[in-house]
Structure 1
Amino acid sequence: MFGKKKHEEDFEEYEEFSSEEGNEPFFPEDEDAEAEYDSADEAYYPEESGYDEYEEAYDEGEPYEEEASWGRDDEEYDEEPEDKLKTRTIFRPETRKPNFVVSVLLNTIRVLLVILVLAGVAGLGALAGIAKGYVDTAPELNLVAMDTQAQTSFIYDSNGNLITEYKGTENRVLVSLDAMPKMLRNAFIAVEDARFYSHSGVDLKRIVGALVSNLTSSGTQGGSTITQQLIKNTLLSSEQSYKRKIQEAYLALQLENRYTKDQILECYLNTIFLGENYYGVEVAAQGYFGKDLGDLTLRECAILAGATNNPYYYNPRRNLYTRKSDDKDYAKVTNNRTDYVLRCMYENQFITREQYEEALNPATAHVLEEAPSSGNSMYKYPHYVEYAVKEVVDILLELNGLEDNAKNRAAMENKFRTGGYRVKLAIDTNIQETVESTLQNWSKYPSLRDPSDKVFRTKNSDGTYTETIQPQAAAVVLDYRTGELKAIVGSRNEVTVKKTLNRATDMKMPVGSSIKPIAVYAPALELGASPATVVYNMPLPIEGWKDAKGNNSFPKNYGGGGYAGPETLRTAMAKSHNTAAAYTLMNMVGVNRSVDFLHRLGIDDGHIDATPFGLSLGSSGITPLQMTVAFGVLANGGVYQKPISVLGISDSAGHVVWDGHQHQERRTVFQPSTSWMIVDMLKSVVQSGTGTSAKISGQIVGGKTGTNSDQKGVFFSGITGYYASAVWVGHDNYKALSSKSTGSGAAAPLWQAYMSKIHQGLEKRDILDGNPSDYGLVKVKTCAVSGQLATAACENDAMGYGTVTDWWAKGTEPTVNCSMHTIQMVCSETGMIASEYCPNPVQRGVVTIPMGHPLYNLKDQYQDVIEQYLGSTAAASNQVCTLHSQFYQGYQDYQNYQDYQDYQNYPDYQDYQNNQGNQGYQESQPFQDARNLLSQADNKMAYMDQNSEQYRAIQNAADYLRLLIGGGSASQTEVMSAMEALVQAMGGIY
């Protein structure tokens, strides 16, 4: 930037000084070194340097120099007295008349001289006019522009530890002059502007010296002062012209009148370019030496000051480690330049002789071979940092009153990069690292149904391909009490490229059944339901749930089974029954209200499939971040807090411009009573439902599993007394996982793996403080079939449903006794209304469906379903036991007879046949009775423990009976014998 020879006049003084005895110089007596001091070496700037001001290539032997400062003020001469002028002459007085020819010649010369003088005056006038024009067109001395140079921004974690720089093309950090060591300041002054504190912005002596030097030597020497350099670096271009030099000098004089010398020096040292992308001494010290300014040695200060002249040519790292040449010692280039700076410091009495001698040792400076990690390298926690940067851009848009569009977002991101902001994030780096490590090292990811889908290839713009291992994973951790995001992990791989897909915040994969608590059950509770509210998990059409033909239909449960008849919301959610969720959505909430609740939970339309299927079964593509926040609302007493990754932003002057919590959006989505009930239901999912693999020892956990259609992804969203978190596992291209992949088997265990580590050492803590009564809840015993107040008939339900005791928000609890149960004598074996032939009838509660009930209009068309799950009386209130007929009684009386022919001769049987008048009875009735008996057996088994001995006994007997009547060749004796065995098994005799 500035010439080497600007101190030649000082060197002459130094030579006189050093010639005196005892003042020998302390620098190497080396011809090459002397040449390095007195003349420039070759330098050039290749295209890859990237710096506009150094793109020009320089002639061999001529390093880049600041252009010479031309011109000087005209000397002013005092006008002498006229008489004195008359006596001053180089000629003798005239003693004779002049020769005519000579006289003409002299007059001609005089005229020519006058013309030359007049031309000179005119030329000076023209030059003055040009100079005035340059001054008049000079830019305004904009102190704001000088004071607001691009500055690097910094991003910190929640504890104030630096995560990364965030910068543009100029890496700059402003520091006060007091923070700069005096020897660093003096190094720059000594080599750049030794009379800095004595001139007024323009050093006339230096300009004249530079002019003389440039006219008498092959090189060029700059005459710019530090003030002029500051003007050029901040307000003017690097154009080499008289116009720019005149404007530079003019503005420098103005600047000196408005700023103190220390202010000018501070601004200069904060803006000067020092190589690579280091602007200012602070980042250069960190970049070259890995040190704070206060820790620099004298030689290191000199290295920085020496680089100012030509930052590329004198780059210490390049010269000491990377630049190679057969005929050039680049390490010597840097060392000689540094020694030269030290000599200038010594000559100007900035350092003592001892300091100078010690600093000449190259070992007193250590330049880093590689630059420290910076904002241009890969930062830690990339997915969190990049999400936070988006939030910073959102904030800057708001602060500047700008519309959110691509152009303004780009402008605000650049403002962030160059504004010198300090941003404090909410990230907990321990939690972030725990989640990252767990996802990267997890060994139990499900396999892909098609092994060829294990690697997902995407084509890049250059024709190459990027391969990503599958399945992928993403997770988020939130402190739901504060809304602070503690971890965001968008990949199971270590991220090595900036701005890659962040699956935690940008993915739109279906969430499966994990949507049910937020889109179905919590809204139902808010609208007056209770965990004890009864829904019908039965294969019956649901009003509004349409099939492909537009007819009312119903969704199947996972695996195609799991129908259980009437069940509570608590059970339906714990077992993740799809049919019950669909019934709840369509009969208690409605699509529009469900969508409205999701909006209030912070989920936008772009992530909502506003259909019955999308809301109750989870085809909505909600991100892990949104799921985490939504579940956090449930755990936070129903209060939504906008998630924040940015705790605060300060500008370059240290003023707080944004406080994340002060600007945090908050709203109530659910009443506290709703929050308590849904959280309690989520606990049941983990305690005894599909989420048992998410249990954490010593902690209270609630959550919900989710499995996408056809195993194309799995979810688990959960809460503890400390955090909410959601994790997703699936294929980036929506390919199927193995057929056994579920949220309970593939997602919940992964969630448990990182959450258990996060909670190590934390005390056991409930999700919501206080007792149910604090939330206005009361416990009520209700009928498990009707949901109304329980009666004795409900408690003695023939089908075994019984009663339920659970929480209700006070004022919403039922007040009417059950209208579906009545006391009847029922068959102890079949549960049907007892006939006169039923052995050991008992008094039980049986179900009838009253008019107006949702099932009333279905009982005729779907009689078999109604009977199977609610009993025969629910479909036909007067139907009696079909097993214990007169024929069955006769068979019982003759059960000791094994021979069918004997049985046919039995008198009572003959009478029965005569009375019936049905000659075909002996062929058809036993088989009809067998079918009825099998139906009752199936109904009984539906409510039994499948691992019990009785269940297995009934199953074996039923299978044998089906085999007999299905084969078509079994005798009636064999059928009746098998029926007896089944009846005994059903009665507990096996």
Structure 2
Amino acid sequence: MANKKIKKRKLNIYRLAFFLLCVALLIAGGTGIGLVFASVRDMPVLNPSVLESGASTMIYDKDGNLVTQIGIKNSVPVDLKEVPEHVRNAFLAIEDPGFYEHHGISLRGIARAAWSDITSRSIREGGSTITQQLVKISFLSPERTLKRKIQEVILAFQVERRYTKDEILEMYLNNIYLGEGAYGIQAAAQTYFGKNVGELELEEAALLGGLPQAPSAYSPYRDPQAALERRNTVLDSMARRGFIDESQAKKAKAREIKLETKEPAERQYPYPYFLDYVTDKLIEKYGEAEVFKGGLKVYTSLDQKIQQAAEAAMARNANFPPSKTDANGLLQPQGAVVVLDPHTGYIKALVGGREHTQKRQWNRATQATRQPGSAFKPIAAYGPAIEYKGMGPASVVDDIPVKYGSYEPKNYDGRYRGLITLRTALTHSVNVAAVKLLADSVGIDAAVRFASGLGINLDPSVHGASMALGGLHNGVSPLQMAGAYAAFANQGVYIEPTAIVKVEKQDGVILDQPVPKHHQAMKATTAYLVTDMLKSVVQSGTGSGAQIGRPAAGKTGTTDDGKDIWFVGYTPELVAAVWIGYDQPAAMPQAYGGTYPARIWREIMSKALSNEPVKDFPRPSGLITATVDGKSGLLPGPNTPGDALVTDLFAEGTVPSETDNVHVFMEVCAASGQLPNEYCPDRVIKPLIKLPYSVPSFVEDFNQRAPKEYCTLHGPGAARNQPGPANQLNPAIPGTTGPQPDIPTGQTKQPGQENKDKRGSENRRNP
């Protein structure tokens, strides 16, 4: 029987592809039908009144009192016949050139806009028609979903059937949001140019026509260059569509943007910097349309009493160095204040400048990042030294000249105090001590980690030892500094600052009731020890100008030539950061953190706490009091003199177990204080400090250090300086050992420097 051959059927790739395509089309079709059905089912009803209405957002203070409303009150409807043709054409050219030809949507417009955006690598033209945009701002949420797009298309067809093209264009021009709180073309003309829509020039119309795509990004107040480029794009589009000729476009492009800078009296609102900050935060989350037309109810942390005190202090010329007006009509130097409740993170007051005369003015409290000077020492040096290294207020650092590579920190007053405690170093803002603490004990990575826990993120690769004195790559804002210091006042818990407590819809439905983010940034004992040292700063140190007759802690900060001056301080109830400086950094001679900023801080806090009972910072468990040797930081030893004893606070487990090992008794020449030679007639035994390194003679405790050189006053020629029988330490004297370390003589006096509070990129000197 012959074997039968079984033929294998070859796979037809084309047939398979066709089959898969059919399956895909069926699935897509079914999904599409389902999506359309769901979109129609949830689609809002076309309500003609909604096309012409909206509600302002209401802003309340911490007690629920209405502060102001923002939104459609800045809306002035106009008839289409009052809008010049070149103004209409500016919007049509960039938003919907085929408006009068389509029936609600334009496939050609979508394709054209997509191609324009792709080739230009930027958003140059919108894909939605003017009808779709009107529907979107009137009926739909700002979310970008396929369901919302389907609803937009269906509603656009309905609007086109109900209204004429001119009616649709008129509603669009009266309702579109054009930035700076302005709804509609008339309000925008008044806002940006101080004139009515009928008076707008071609270049002004083009600027407004470019705003609907991104009002904030193209705002001439926020980014003049972006606004100029967008205006020119609109003019190009108008010329390309035949609305104007090339020569008109060229002339309009050559004209500069002349803006209205004064806020009309009828449109001003109280506490503008605080409310600008709140408005920006709302827009970030809900979008401009919802904020300005959605009728939200926004409850904030604003304390009007504190805000008024802050604004009054910032408006008082005596609280600032000699002032002048810059080219923009703003007083210089400028300033900023932020007041927080450290236990909730709520912003009680916020002032971003000495006056608020321009629209969307630069908010220096939240947007300006400046060098903090010595106000950064608790964050970069003292805080992490206590938290990570077990140090404390009585730990000792040697304030002597030091150099790290090419960086050589200097003290603001030109003095070198020698061996001092951390409390003394911080109280008097000793720069070298802070730098040595960071560089030799803490380390850059640990300092960056500690700062990060306080809401200040730094890149360790671009920071060095000067960070201890506020030498930061990008600087910090007053809001960041207030938030960081608040953790010291709040037993080590960092709470992200916030100004918004609750947001409700118009019908009372709660949209958001944010709980501020928080975490334990440091041990409670660390926070208290830093606070206790900062109390010394206010009581008897560089911050004494901030004394308010109740417990307070704080730190001054001044950069090179006084370009930035700070005072950041707190009480058990409130924390406040004050900054002063020129918008374009410039020297402020004789201006320090302990003068003008401390004065402003004192004025605000005195008024804010005027009716509050006096209380001290709560002391956490885990702290003990101990007495140590103030030159070694160790327990007193048999050679510790009485005037070297220091009693201070320690976290449990950090009290040293070793005894003082730096004090020794040595025999020296009574006249020269040097090691005696065989010709010295009088010799005395003195308690001295012995360390394995030398110090220059201008260090203030130089005469307390164990000498190395032999007496040059006595002997043949009064110049003999070689060892002899009497030139050894007396082994019978307790604490003395063999030969002493080398200690070079150095200078007899350090060149004097002005008693200034400085820090700069090269020569960091700043209390």
Partner of 2:650: 808
Match of 2:351 among 489, 492, 497: 489
1:369-768 to 2 correspondence within 5 Å? 377-396=267-286, 412-447=287-322, 454-457=324-327, 466-493=328-355, 495-527=356-388, 528-541=390-403, 545-547=404-406, 553-559=407-413, 561-605=414-458, 610-619=463-472, 621-660=475-514, 663-697=515-549, 699-738=550-589, 740-766=590-616, 768=617
CA distance 1:169–1:444, change in 2 (3 Å):
closer
Provide the secondary structure at the position in 2 that maps to 1:793.
Answer: coil
* Alpha-carbon distance in 1 for matches of 2:615, 2:364: 30
- Tell me by how many angstroms 1:788 deviates: 1.8
- Tell me by how many angstroms 1:482 deviates: 1.4
* Alpha-carbon distance in 1 for matches of 2:366, 2:746: 52
* Alpha-carbon distance in 2 for matches of 1:429, 1:610: 40
* Alpha-carbon distance in 2 for matches of 1:742, 1:777: 34
Partner of 2:63: 159
What letter is aligned with 2:580? V
1:564-623 deviation digits (Å, cap 9, x = unpaired): 111111111111111111100001111111111111111134899623213434445111
- Tell me by how many angstroms 1:938 deviates: 6.2
Provide the secondary structure at the position in 2 that maps to 1:741.
Answer: coil
- Tell me by how many angstroms 1:785 deviates: 2.3
* Alpha-carbon distance in 2 for matches of 1:571, 1:276: 65
Question: 2:629 touches 2:660 (CA, 8 Å); kept in 1?
Answer: yes
CA distance 1:238–1:375, change in 2 (3 Å):
farther
CA distance 1:482–1:868, change in 2 (3 Å):
closer
1:147-296 to 2 correspondence within 5 Å? 150-168=54-72, 244=162
* Alpha-carbon distance in 1 for matches of 2:504, 2:495: 23
* Alpha-carbon distance in 1 for matches of 2:599, 2:671: 43
Provide the secondary structure at the position in 2 that maps to 1:648.
Answer: strand
- Tell me by how many angstroms 1:496 deviates: 3.1
Provide the secondary structure at the position in 2 that maps to 1:744.
Answer: coil
* Alpha-carbon distance in 1 for matches of 2:460, 2:375: 14
- Tell me by how many angstroms 1:880 deviates: 4.7
* Alpha-carbon distance in 2 for matches of 1:881, 1:872: 16
* Alpha-carbon distance in 1 for matches of 2:606, 2:700: 44
Q: CA RMSD in A?
A: 3.9
Question: 1:632 touches 1:719 (CA, 8 Å); kept in 2?
Answer: yes
* Alpha-carbon distance in 2 for matches of 1:596, 1:477: 25
* Alpha-carbon distance in 2 for matches of 1:667, 1:482: 12
Partner of 2:686: 844
- Tell me by how many angstroms 1:420 deviates: 2.2
Provide the secondary structure at the position in 1 that maps to 2:270.
Answer: coil
Provide the secondary structure at the position in 2 that maps to 1:532.
Answer: coil
Partner of 1:15: none
* Alpha-carbon distance in 2 for matches of 1:497, 1:624: 21
* Alpha-carbon distance in 2 for matches of 1:484, 1:847: 50
CA distance 1:875–1:415, change in 2 (3 Å):
farther
* Alpha-carbon distance in 2 for matches of 1:746, 1:483: 26
* Alpha-carbon distance in 1 for matches of 2:710, 2:464: 44
Question: 1:164 touches 1:374 (CA, 8 Å); kept in 2?
Answer: no
CA distance 1:245–1:604, change in 2 (3 Å):
closer
Question: 2:448 touches 2:460 (CA, 8 Å); kept in 1?
Answer: no
Structure 1 residue 818 corresponds to structure 2 residue 660: yes
What letter is aligned with 1:425? T
* Alpha-carbon distance in 2 for matches of 1:604, 1:456: 33
Question: 2:415 touches 2:699 (CA, 8 Å); kept in 1?
Answer: no
* Alpha-carbon distance in 2 for matches of 1:807, 1:145: 71
Match of 1:769 among 618, 640, 643: 618
Structure with the greater alpha carbon radius of gyration: 1
* Alpha-carbon distance in 2 for matches of 1:616, 1:515: 6
* Alpha-carbon distance in 2 for matches of 1:375, 1:385: 17
1:314-368 deviation digits (Å, cap 9, x = unpaired): xxxxxxxx9xxxxxxxxxxxxxxxxxxxxxxxxxxxxxxxxxxxxxxxxxxxxxx
User: Under a length normalisation based on structure 2, what TM-score does the superposition of the two structures give?
Assistant: 0.61
* Alpha-carbon distance in 1 for matches of 2:455, 2:510: 27
What letter is aligned with 1:753? E
Provide the secondary structure at the position in 1 that maps to 2:636.
Answer: coil
What letter is aligned with 2:373? G
- Tell me by how many angstroms 1:750 deviates: 2.0
Provide the secondary structure at the position in 1 that maps to 2:687.
Answer: strand
CA distance 1:866–1:529, change in 2 (3 Å):
farther
What letter is aligned with 1:769? P
CA distance 1:580–1:937, change in 2 (3 Å):
closer
* Alpha-carbon distance in 2 for matches of 1:165, 1:374: 16
Structure 1 residue 783 corresponds to structure 2 residue 629: yes
CA distance 1:728–1:832, change in 2 (3 Å):
same
1:287-322 deviation digits (Å, cap 9, x = unpaired): xxxxxxxxxxxxxxxxxxxxxxxxx9xxxxxxxxx9
Question: 2:302 touches 2:348 (CA, 8 Å); kept in 1?
Answer: yes
What letter is aligned with 2:663? H
Question: 1:793 touches 1:846 (CA, 8 Å); kept in 2?
Answer: no
Gaps of 5+ in 1: 1-138, 173-232, 247-272, 279-311, 313-321, 323-372, 397-411, 449-453, 458-465, 548-552, 850-855, 890-934, 943-990
What letter is aligned with 1:522? G
How many residues are treated as equivalent by the alignment? 516
* Alpha-carbon distance in 2 for matches of 1:607, 1:501: 29
CA distance 1:144–1:695, change in 2 (3 Å):
farther
* Alpha-carbon distance in 2 for matches of 1:478, 1:608: 32
**Structure 1 residues 159-168 or 838-847, which shifts more?**
838-847
CA distance 1:416–1:376, change in 2 (3 Å):
farther
* Alpha-carbon distance in 2 for matches of 1:531, 1:885: 47
What letter is aligned with 1:473? G
State the identity as a percent.
32
What letter is aligned with 1:456? D
User: Under a length normalisation based on structure 1, what TM-score does the superposition of the two structures give?
Assistant: 0.48
Provide the secondary structure at the position in 1 that maps to 2:688.
Answer: strand
Question: 1:378 touches 1:497 (CA, 8 Å); kept in 2?
Answer: no
What letter is aligned with 1:380? P
* Alpha-carbon distance in 2 for matches of 1:789, 1:829: 32
Higher RCO by CA contacts (8 Å cutoff, separation 6 or greater): 2
Question: 1:578 touches 1:617 (CA, 8 Å); kept in 2?
Answer: no
* Alpha-carbon distance in 1 for matches of 2:680, 2:625: 39
Question: 1:164 touches 1:375 (CA, 8 Å); kept in 2?
Answer: no
Provide the secondary structure at the position in 2 that maps to 1:789.
Answer: coil
Question: 1:828 touches 1:841 (CA, 8 Å); kept in 2?
Answer: yes
- Tell me by how many angstroms 1:436 deviates: 0.4
* Alpha-carbon distance in 1 for matches of 2:543, 2:561: 19
Provide the secondary structure at the position in 2 that maps to 1:414.
Answer: helix
- Tell me by how many angstroms 1:867 deviates: 8.2
CA distance 1:507–1:456, change in 2 (3 Å):
same
1:881-960 to 2 correspondence within 5 Å? 881-883=711-713
CA distance 1:509–1:617, change in 2 (3 Å):
closer
Provide the secondary structure at the position in 2 that maps to 1:499.
Answer: coil
1:135-177 deviation digits (Å, cap 9, x = unpaired): xxxx9894456498743321111111222223258979xxxxx
CA distance 1:709–1:864, change in 2 (3 Å):
closer
Question: 1:835 touches 1:881 (CA, 8 Å); kept in 2?
Answer: yes
What letter is aligned with 2:350? I
CA distance 1:840–1:531, change in 2 (3 Å):
farther
